[in-house]
Structure formats: C-alpha cells, structure tokens
Amino acid sequence: EGLNRVYSHKDRVRLQLILRGKRVGLSLTEIRELLDLYDENDEGAAQMARSLKKFRERANALEQQREDIDNALIELREACNRLEKRLAEIRPDLLPRAADYEQVLRARLDGHAEAMLGK
C-alpha cells in the first residue's frame, strides 16, 4: 500500500511558488522571505507586492545577462573570423578542418545525450 500525502490548497500554492521561484533563479532564502510575507488579513497583498518587485528585478538581471551573452558571442565570432583569415594566410595547415569541428560537435551532442539519460 502506497503512502499518499494529502496536500491542502495552501500547500499546493506554496509549492507552486517555490518551484516558480527556483525556475526563475531566486534563491531559497528569497523564496522563503516571500512565503513568510503571506497574510490572509490582507489577502496576500504584501506578498504580491514584494513578489512583483523581486520578479521585476530578476527579469531585469536576466535581460542584462542575455545582452552580455549576445555581445560576447558577437566578439567571439568576429575574433574567430579574424583568426581564421590570418591563419589561412600564414599557416593554413593549422586551421581546424571541417571534420575536426564535426568530431567536437558529435562529442558534445553524445555527452549531452548521455547526461540527459543519466549515464
């Protein structure tokens, strides 16, 4: 006979908030602070206001990270193009061959598949 835990509506709401908070990158401490703010007397208004502020801060931080990543990718691709052109001029034998790229990509994909399968 299995052990079934019966969760109240409040438990399920708290669990959803915890999971949502983790998904968007909030720390457990931040999530606890939000949960502790809940007050039935104000219908959770203080908790909602603080959550809104936290979520906006997190969204802004993620937007900044995305911009930083996009800029880094542009710089790296430009550097790769410059290096490939220069190597083609002076030491084409040192340029990675397409087969080398394919081997690296295949190893990365295989590693990702194994990680997903829990190997």
- Does 49 map to a domain? yes
Tens digits of residue pLDDT in 41-95 = 888 899 899 999 999 999 999 999 999 999 999 999 999 999 999 989 998 888 8
- Does 3 map to a domain? no
Residue 86 token pair: 């220069």
Contact present, 29 and 18 (Cβ < 8 Å): no
The count of structural domains within the chain is 1
Tens digits of residue pLDDT in 8-54 = 888 888 899 899 999 999 999 999 999 998 888 888 899 899 999 99
pLDDT value at residue 73 = 96
Asked if the model's pLDDT at residue 103 lies above 90, the reply is no
pLDDT value at residue 67 = 98
- Does 23 map to a domain? yes
Q: List CB contacts of 107: < 8 A, sequence separation 6 or more.
A: none
Asked if the model's pLDDT at residue 1 lies above 60, the reply is no
- Does 2 map to a domain? no
Per-residue confidence at 108, pLDDT binned at 50, 70, 90? confident
- Does 42 map to a domain? yes
Contact present, 117 and 110 (Cβ < 8 Å): no
Contact present, 44 and 10 (Cβ < 8 Å): no
- Does 1 map to a domain? no
Domain containing residue 38: 9-117
Instruction: Tell me the three state secondary structure of residue 119.
Output: coil
Average pLDDT for 108-117: 75
